[in-house]
Amino acid sequence: MNTTIPVCIPVRYTEGDFVGDLVYHWPFDDGSGKVLGYTARYDNQEEDKKVIPFFKPNGNRFKMGYPEGKRHLFGLQSLKDPRAWVYIPEGEKCESFLRALGVQSVTWPGGANAVELADWSVMVAFLNICILPDNDEHSEKAAHELARLLASLPGSREIRIARVAKDLGPGADVVDLAKQYVPDWNEFDPPAPESVPMLREVVLTSIEANIEPVPPEWLQPDRPAPLPLRRTAPPMERYPVDALPGVLRDAVLAIHESIQAPVAMCAQSVLSTAALAVQAHADVLVDGRRIPMSVWFLTIGVTGERKTAVDNQALWPVRTFEDEKREDYARAMNDYINETAGYKSAHARAARKWGMGGDPMATLGEPPKAPLQPVLRISDCTIEGLYSYLGTGWPSVGLFSSEGGLMVGGYGFNEENILKSLAGLSELWDGGRVARMRKGDGISLLVGRRLSLHLMLQPVAASMLMGSAVAEGQGFLTRTLTVWPDTTRGTRLYREHDLSADIRMKRYGKTILDLLRTPLPLVSDSGGHTLNPRTVTLEPEAKRTWIAFHDHVETQNGPGGDTEAVAGLANKIPEHALRLAGVFTLVEDASLDDVSRETMDNAIELAEWYLKEGLRLQGAASVTPELLLAEQALEWMRKQGGEIPMRHLYQYGPYRLRDAESARRIVRILEKHGQIEKVSDAKRETWRVVSDGLQGLSEDLSS
- Strand 676-678's sheet: what is its strand order? 643-645, 686-689, 676-678
Helix, strand, coil shares, percent, the chain, to 5: 45, 20, 35
Question: Who wins on pLDDT, 519 or 329?
Answer: 519
Query: Contacts for 100-103 with beta carbons within 8 Å, 24 or more apart?
Result: 100/190, 100/191, 100/196, 101/196, 101/199, 101/200, 101/203, 102/196, 102/200, 102/493, 103/78, 103/200, 103/203, 103/204, 103/493
Contacts of 562 (CB under 8 A, 6+ apart): 556
253 and 381 co-located in one domain: yes
670 and 543, same structural domain? Answer: no
CA-based angle 365:367:369, to the nearest 5? Answer: 130
Q: Give all strands of the β-sheet with 450-457 in edge-to-edge order.
A: 377-378, 396-401, 450-457, 296-300, 480-483
Residue 609 shares a structural domain with residue 648 = no
Phi first, then psi: give them for residue 643, nearest 5 degrees.
-100, 135
Q: What is the pLDDT of residues 575-589, one digit of tens each?
A: 999 999 999 999 999
Q: What DSSP character marks residue 241?
A: G
Residues pairing with 620 in the sheet: none
Short-list 13, 47, 42, 44, CA closest to 25: 42
**Which residues on adjacent β-strands are paired with residue 689?**
676
* Residue 342, pLDDT score: 79
What does the pLDDT read at residue 699? 34
Residues 606 and 629 in one domain: no
| pLDDT of res. 299 | 92
- In three-state secondary structure terms, 582 is helix
391 and 493 in a single domain? The answer is yes
Element (H, E) at 100: helix 92-100
388 falls within a domain: yes
Position 667 scores a pLDDT of: 87
Q: Where are the alpha helices (DSSP H) in 431-566?
A: 459-466, 469-474, 503-517, 540-555
**Does 637 lie in the same domain as 601?**
no
Residues 277, 161 within the same domain: no
**C-alpha 332: how far from its chain's center?**
42
Contact 368, 336 (CB under 8 A): yes
Q: Which domain holds residue 111?
A: 69-219
User: Has residue 703 been placed in a domain?
Assistant: no
> Both 122 and 213 in a single domain?
yes
- Which CATH number goes with the domain that contains 440? 3.40.50
Same domain, 300 and 250: yes
Model confidence at 502, pLDDT cuts 50, 70, 90, reads: very high
402 inside domain: yes
Rounded Cα distance, 122 and 108, in Å? 12
SS3 330: helix
Q: Do 203 and 271 have their domain in common?
A: no
Number of independent structural domains in the chain: 3
Strands (E), 543-642: 594-595
Residue 642's domain is classified under what CATH number? 1.10.10.10
Q: Tell me, what's the pLDDT at 320?
A: 94
74: pLDDT strictly greater than 70: yes
Output b/e per residue, 297-315; b: 16+ Cβ within 10 A. Answer: bbbbbbeebbbebbbbbbb
CATH number at residue 196: 3.40.1360.10
Helix (H) or strand (E) segment spanning residue 212: strand 211-213
Q: Are residues 394 and 518 in the same domain?
A: yes
pLDDT in tens, 418-474: 787 888 888 888 876 666 655 555 556 778 899 999 998 887 777 767 766 677 777
Per-residue pLDDT band for 598 (boundaries 50, 70, 90) equals: very high
Structural domain includes residue 342:
no
Of 587, 617, 647, the last residue of a domain is 617
- The arithmetic mean of pLDDT across residues 628-655, rounded, is 80
Inform me whether the pLDDT recorded for 111 exceeds 50: yes
Same domain, yes or no, for 586 and 541? yes
Say if 297 falls within a structural domain: yes
Of 274, 289, 278, give the one whose Cα is nearest residue 431. Answer: 289
Q: In what order do the strands lie in the sheet with 534-538?
A: 289-292, 282-286, 534-538, 594-595
Q: Is the pLDDT of residue 691 over 60?
A: no
